[in-house]
Structure formats: structure tokens, C-alpha cells
A and B are shown apart, each in its own frame.
Chain A
Amino acid sequence: MSRGRGFSIKILDKSDDSISILFKNIPVEIINSIRRISMSEVPTLAIDKVFIFRNDSVLNDQMLAHRLGLIPLKTPVDKYKYGDEEGKPEYVSLSLTIEAKNDFRTVYAKDIKSNDKEVYPLYEDIEIVRLAPGEGLDIEMWAIMGTGREHAKWSPVTVCVVRGVPVIKILKECDSNCKKCVEACPKNILKINNGKLTVTNLYLCTGCKLCEVECPDYIKVDIDEKSSLFMMEIVGQLTIKTILTKSFDILISKIDDFLTKFNEVEIYEDAIPK
């Protein structure tokens, strides 16, 4: 096996909140650990402690606190520390004070006021609760750093997938009027061009092999184990680049921790049972 030789990284598709990358000749285990770390170990800010001084709304206190916790907050990189080694966690204080005077009123995420300009609710139009005339809220909140391992509200990504790259081999030329395999494909990626069977978008193939079942002598579908397709969709607290670089940093520091612990242990050749 080639170790890191001949590897390549290609970005197939990129938008503001999602990315799909093709890794070639990199072990799947490394890509999968990046996936797992980006989901559950990259720290972000989320509302965790809620002090409710006034709540006249129809939602009870714990429902309200839960909804507030799920609101994504923009997290400045490296400004707040994760973990409380000195005993007291670093927090950003936010407040929500509102009263519906003469009419029904919907409380949105944009009504939350933050003490730090860099920390703010990303989605302004999230409905928190609706108030009847005369009702009001007075809430103080602490946002602290946490990881997706503890609660999903701290996870910076929503959907994160790693899968093998499909390889579709057309073994020999077939009758172009048959079209059985073209109709069998659920993703419609097979097409007949000028009497020849062609694959239009290879990366949409799920490797279901329905076309292979229809014409076993002509088509062969395989999964390339050496390459992997990595797809990630983010919530928005951190950018895609920050999440990926942070995940690599965390992975490397974990391996370093393992090595230092391993070097502390003295291994005696005699102690190994025969």
C-alpha cells in the first residue's frame, strides 16, 4: 500500500453551507476520523445556562430554555476557551427582554441582545415563542463553548458523510434499443448517446447495482476502496475551512497524546506471556 504517495484532493462541489470533496489514495480511516471529529469534537458556542425572571408565555420554562439552546450562534475563532480548567467557564452573556403591549407578538431570534458584537444569532427569523397582549419575557442567558459529543446543539455540522467512490465498467457494447439498465437506475445517471451507453455523473451513483442485475454481462459496478467521497453540510457557527482545519488539529493532538502516554509505559520483553 502506498503511504501518502500519489494522493490528491479535489473539490467537486462547494456552496456557502456545504462542500463535497474527493480524496484519492488516502486511507478511508483518516477521512472517517475527520468526519467523526468534525461532528462531535469541534467546540462552538451555544446557550447553555438560562435564568428566567419572567415568563408569561404559553411555553413552560424548560421548553423555552431548550428552544433557546438550539439557536445557532456565530462563534469567533479562538476567542473563547473550551473547558473550565480554572473552575469557572468563560461565557458570553445574552439577554431577551420583551413585552407584547397591545397586540399579539412573535418573539424572533433577532430580539436576543448580546454583550459581544461577534456573537449573534445566525438565523434572525427563528420563531422562539408567540406572546398574547400583556405577556412578557425577561431572560438572561449564558452561552458557553461545548462539543457535539455532549449535546447536538454544539455540533457545527448537520450532515457529514464518507463513502467509497463508485466505479462503473461497461464491459462490452450492447444493443442500444434495450435500455433496461437506463430505466433501472434510480439516479438516472446512465444515458445512451449515439447508440453508446455512457455514464453522465459518476459521483451520484450509490452503488446499488440495479443496472448490473438487469444486464450482468454488460455492466459491472464496484466501489473503489482507496478513494473516498466526503460530503459535509454546516450549520454556520464556524466556516467550512475552520471546521476542517480544527478537526485535523484535534486529530493530530489526540495522536500526540497517545504517543506521549505510550512512551511513559515501560515495556519489558519478558513480561509478554508466551
Chain B
Amino acid sequence: MITPVRCFTCGSVIGDKYEKFIKLVEEGMDPKEALDKLGVKRYCCRRMLLTHVEIIDEFLIYRGLKYGKD
């Protein structure tokens, strides 16, 4: 649904890094370099960002209609 706040395995905070990570990757940076730049060292935290699928925006399209805007 939405980015997990903490890494499932080690418990370090990754909830503030997903937006930055996606922005760097969309600018053309290699995901490996982007993760290094964000300071995500261990592979447990790296998989959290690499394998996450953000689907909350797809839910929100329909919610917007429900509340009468657009």
C-alpha cells in the first residue's frame, strides 16, 4: 500500500527515503548508486526500497470521486 516506516528485519527508518529514492531513479541514476547516496547500507533495508510497490495512489483516484471533487 504505502512505504513501510521501518525495515522489517533490522528496524532502521526507511519511511522517509522512498520518495527521494524514486526521484533519483527517475532522474536517471542507477538504483545501486541511489541507495548508496541515501545511506542505505544493509541488504535488508535495500530490498525494502527496491521491491516496494506503491499502490495507494491507485486507491486514491476512486476516493477522490467519492468525496465529490472532480
Contacts and interface: CB of A to CB of B under 8 A. Distances in A.
B interface, over-half SS: loop
Contacts of A129: 2, 56
Interface residues on A, range: 20 to 34
Nearest to A152: B11
Most buried by B among A125, A132, A152, A235: A132
B67 A123 contact: no
A59 B64 contact: no
Interface string A124-142: 1111011111110000000
A104 B67 CA distance: 12
Interface string B39-70: 00010000000000000110110011011111
B11 A235 contact: yes
A132 B64 contact: yes
The majority secondary structure among interface residues of chain A is: loop
Interface in A229-253: 233, 235
A58 B3 CA distance: 14
Nearest to B20: A125
A125 B22 CA distance: 14
B34 to A, nearest CB: 16
Interface of B: 1-3, 5-7, 10-13, 15-16, 18-20, 42, 56-57, 59-60, 63-64, 66-70
Interface of A: 56, 58-59, 63, 67, 70-72, 102, 104, 109, 122-127, 129-135, 152, 155, 158-159, 233, 235
